[in-house]
Amino acid sequence: MAGAWMTFVWAFVVGGIICAIGQVIMDVSKLTPGHVMVILVVAGAILDGLGLYDPLIRFAGAGATVPITSFGNALVHGALAEAERHGLIGIITGIFEVTSAGVSAAIVFAFLASVFARPKG
Amino acid sequence: MAVQSKGRHVSYQQIVERHTPPRPIVRNTIRAFVVGGGVCVLGQAVQTLFVRFAGFSPQEASNPTVAVMILLSVIATAFGVYDKFAQWAGAGSAVPVTGFANTMASAAIEHRSEGWVPGVGGNMFKLAGPVIVYGVVAAFFVSLVRYAVMHL
């Protein structure tokens, strides 16, 4: 039981640190939030390529899967899983395999929002 | 002429820099840490619910969790809450996947007046597009290298 609660603590700490890194990059380099998100997504892909992102997910749960870095990680995961099954072509066919939930949910819900919501100020 | 102007000439950029107040980096970073951590704790709670009540394994549960976080973010965006929150929280709201969904929903809502196809369809990925483009390109090359290392 104590282990379950520690997951929440590590989710907070690790998720917070990833966001704090994003904020420091944004403030020090004066890059736009878009640049920072691109940097983090590429960083997530590279970390997974080095085999470092999975241990982070096991350790921090949603603290590692909710920040945008996990999108890069999931892209590499899908590509490699499919490449194991079908060879090199799997990298292309599998790249969106795991990220389908995020991308399709965002498209469908964003579309519905544009149907029902009015622009605010 | 060039030598003369060297001492006195101050570029517009330098003037701007002199008058721009310094960014409160420490305050911003603490805010980003607390808010980003809070968003992830909310995600962890959703994930725990999927594991407890919907029979997902902790690994499988992260995908539906991301979908729920996106739904919550889009609802908050539709009510105009997320953007106010984002102004305060900075990267704490931009870096989690909720920020990604927020850029898509707010672009779709904002450009609705330009029509369904060019407005909503054409602008939805205006801000989120770079993340997908560079994410996929990076993932392609990382996977290629990883595959080569493991199989060749």
**Confidence grade of residue B8 (pLDDT, cut at 50, 70, 90):** low
CB of B14 within 8 Å of any CB in chain A?
no
Q: How many angstroms away from the CA of B4 is the closest CA of chain A? A: 32
Chain A residue with Cα closest to B48: A4
Please write the tens of the pLDDT for every residue from B42-72: 999 999 999 999 999 988 899 999 999 999 9
Cβ partners under 8 Å of residue A80, min gap 6 = A90, A91, A94, B143, B146, B147
Would you call A42 and B94 a contact, using CB atoms and an 8 Å cutoff?
A: no
From first to last of its 121 residues, chain A has per-residue pLDDT tens of 456 789 999 999 999 999 999 999 999 998 999 999 999 999 999 999 999 999 999 999 999 999 999 999 999 999 999 999 999 999 999 999 999 999 999 999 999 999 999 887 5
Whether the per-residue pLDDT at B5 is higher than 60: the answer is no
Over residues B129-149, the pLDDT tens digits come to: 999 999 999 999 999 999 999
Which residues fall within 8 angstroms of residue B88, CB to CB, at 6 or more apart?
B31, B35
Per-residue pLDDT at A121: 57
pLDDT score at B23: 78
Angle at B34 between CA A29 and CA A104, to 5 degrees: 80
CA distances from B55 to A97, B59, B64, B67 (A): 21, 11, 12, 17
Nearest CA in chain B to A27: B25
Is residue B117 pLDDT above 60, yes or no? yes
- Contact assignment for B97 to A27 by CB distance below 8 Å: no
pLDDT score, position B1:
46
Mean pLDDT of the region B73-101 = 94
Q: How many CA atoms lie within 13 A of A30 on its CB side?
A: 4
Chain B CB contacts of A13 under 8 Å are 37
Say if residues A17 and B89 touch (Cβ distance below 8 Å): no
